[in-house]
Structure 1
Amino acid sequence: MKPITFSREETKALVGEIQDYFREELDQQIGALPAEMLMQFFSERMGAYFYNRGLYDAQALVRKQIDSLSDDIFALEQPTRHLR
């Protein structure tokens, strides 16, 4: 798997979210550089867990759509005298 990377704009937004969390939930200030380092840590060490969870969710959605499509196809079947 290739490393998870973020654009400069995404990094800036994530850093802001981390700073907001520290301020609102922990009543602490965190600078932009430490927040970006924390974001990198989570991205490198835990990003694959979140990525895989997204893949599992996508697989479940595709499976559900295929099942629905299969049902729709069987509903088009015409009756015949020959039993399967």
Structure 2
Amino acid sequence: MNKLSTEQKAHLTDSLKSYLDKELAIELGDFDAEFLCDHIIEHFAPFFYNQGLTDAQVVLSQKVDFIAEAIDEIALPLPNV
């Protein structure tokens, strides 16, 4: 799994701070919010990442089945021997 860019991490940290402030009335400083963000990424991201891989496998399998059916449709009949 690739690391997040500095901009992506800053966006997530800001979003987390905003959510905690608005929804739970918890104010976090930048330092604490970044550590909380790191914790969430470390412990939650693998679940989302693996689900994304599973979803991609399903789509790929469907596409391969579609291609296999299309190939079967254009196959020429074999002559009787």
> TM-score with structure 1 length normalisation?
0.81
Q: Which runs of 4+ in 1 moved over 6 A?
A: none
Structure 2 residue aligned with 1:34: 32
Structure 2 residue aligned with 1:7: 5
Give the Cα separation in 2 of the matches to 1:24 and 1:31: 14
Higher relative contact order (CA 8 A, sep 6+): 1
User: Is residue 41 of structure 2 the alignment partner of residue 74 of structure 1?
Assistant: no
Root-mean-square deviation (CA, aligned residues, Å) is: 1.7
Q: Which structure carries more helix by proportion?
A: 2
Deviations 1:4-58 (A, max 9, x none): 5211111110101101211222122222111111111112222211111111111
How many residue pairs are counted as aligned between the two chains?
Answer: 80
Report % sequence identity.
Answer: 28
Letter in 1 for 2:12: L
Letter in 1 for 2:38: Q
Structure 2 residue aligned with 1:62: 60
Give the Cα separation in 2 of the matches to 1:78 and 1:24: 66
Q: CA deviation at 1:81?
A: 4.3
| Structure 1: 5+ residue stretches without partners | none
